[in-house]
Amino acid sequence: MPEIGEVARVVHYIRKHLVGKTLAKVTAQVDENVYGKVGCSAEAFEKALTGKKVLDAKQQGKYFWMVMSSPPHPLMHFGMAGWFKFSNEETAYYKPKTTDQSQEWPPKYWKFMLETAGKPSCQAAFVDFRRFARIRLIDCVADEIRTLSPLVENGPDPVVDKDNLTEEWLKEKVLSKRIPIKALLLDQANISGIGNWVGDEILYDAKIHPEQYSNTLTETQISQLHKSMHYVCKLSVDNLADSSKFPEEWLFKHRWGKGRKDSSTTLPNGNKFVFLTVGGRTSCVVPSVQKKTGPVAGDVKKEIAEHANLEHDGVKTKKTKKSKKVAQQTEHGKDESPAKSNKGRKRGAKQEEDASPAVNGNGVSDDTDEKPATKKRKPTRTSQADDAETKSTRKSINGFKPEPEAKASGRRRSARVSGK
């Protein structure tokens, strides 16, 4: 994903090729993800920009926008794989192509294309093959863009807002949360622009383990984190994310061989790096440098897992709420049997009370005045027959002879066969 340095690179090229020029032609392709998910449309985008003049280009973290001669202004986010291309200059980063290579135009996966008026004209295109990018229109005065959503929900930019992102501000932010420090840095609501590789570079330079909980960092560590953040972000932006200009000892120059058989996991200084998953992202860590000086996410999870099991006869059994309750009862001298068996005992005791009379303290039965209550039993076949005989007798007495009862049979007789 393009991060603070890569976005700064695009802003640089927009200022170089588009600022000060009028957009003679704007073409946008319908995409319900890129436009639709943020309340915009290709048609609205074309209408808003055609004939307008580009006055400036600005950035906050991973967001960037063009300031137009009148509102609305286009605000963009690259998502996972978006990029901005120009017809007259290669803008690729990390491994720039040579200038003599021909560039396909229009490029694949373009979402909108801009063409400037006058000679020579320049064409620009926003591309995104994964469709996670977002393009929207902000209808306000240009100076108020950062006071509105989504920028207002994002934290300060380490380069643009350097004066606001002070050491004291960072200390308050870091100590107010109990999450892995890497996860805190990646959250754009805290600080804008820091992505996966920038976050790893900052923590490596600060000698802080990415899994360590933020509120366990010392003042010295926070001070160094502040310095490392400004150093890494500024160097990345100043060099427009051109990796050929990054220091040789940076992780960025060596981390991209993960999974390859011939890849090395050793830095030029001899330190080895490994990969961990922190905050849902793969993190590059140098264990010999980034020491654990406090509780870390991995250790806490392990501790919880150990406490969730009980050692019993050498076999680990999962501790349940029921077993916890039994353990608490044992500590207080209560019955250790589970609640289920207690219910069974109560039911059995009740039946015994129903079957036999209670005995008082003198050994004499308490049922002299009152018989114990007995359960109602279902009538047996014999009692049913007796009832039938009684009814038959009662009918004879009333002066009519009852019909003889049919003998019980295993099968039901059909009404059709019986003639009924």
Question: Could you please report the per-residue DSSP string of 211-244?
Answer: TBBGGG--HHHHHHHHHHHHHHHHHHHHTTT-GG
Question: Which residues, 6 or more positions from 334, have their beta carbon under 8 angstroms from its beta carbon?
Answer: none
Please, is 169 exposed, middle or buried when counting C-beta atoms within 10 Å of its C-beta (0-12, 13-18, 19+)? middle
Pick the more confident residue, 149 or 305. 149
Count H helices and E strands in the chain, helices first: 11, 12
Any residues with CB less than 8 A from the CB of 369 and at least 6 apart, and which?
none
- Please give the pLDDT value at position 351: 46
Q: What confidence score (pLDDT) does residue 280 get? A: 85
- Do β-strands 281-285 and 110-116 pair in parallel, antiparallel, or remain unpaired? unpaired
DSSP H/E element including 57 = strand 54-60
Q: In this predicted structure, what is the pLDDT of residue 355?
A: 41
Predicted confidence at residue 411, as pLDDT, reads: 53
Closest Cα to residue 76, out of 115, 50, 45? 45
Over residues 213-241, the pLDDT tens digits come to 999 999 999 999 999 999 999 999 999 99
Give the strand pairing for 274-278 and 54-60: unpaired
Q: At what angle do helices 4-17 and 219-238 cross, to 10 degrees?
A: 30
Residue 207, token pair as written in the block:
């000698």
**What would the two tokens of residue 261 be?**
């058989």
Taking residues 95-116, report their average pLDDT: 78
Q: Is the pTM of this model over 0.75?
A: no
Q: What pLDDT, in 10s, does the model give residues 133-145?
A: 999 999 999 999 9
Q: Return the pLDDT at 257.
A: 83
| Mean of the per-residue pLDDT values of the chain | 80
Contact 145, 101 (CB under 8 A): no
According to the model, what pLDDT value does residue 266 have? 92
Res. 149 pLDDT band, cuts 50 70 90: very high
List Cβ neighbours of 159 (8 Å cut-off, separation of 6 or more): 4, 8, 193, 230, 233, 234, 237
Question: Percent of the chain, pLDDT > 70?
Answer: 68
Q: What are the pLDDT digits (tens) for 79-92?
A: 999 999 999 999 98
Range name among 255-259, 290-294, 310-314, 376-380 with the lowest pLDDT average: 310-314
pLDDT tens digits, one per residue of 347-391: 544 444 444 444 444 444 444 344 445 555 555 554 454 555 445
Give the orientation angle of helix 219-238 with respect to helix 167-175, to 10 degrees: 120
Tokens of 417: 């066969």
Q: Which residues pair with 112 in a beta bridge?
A: 28, 126
What is the pLDDT, as a whole number, of residue 23? Answer: 98
Determine contact, residues 137/76, Cβ cutoff 8 Å.
no
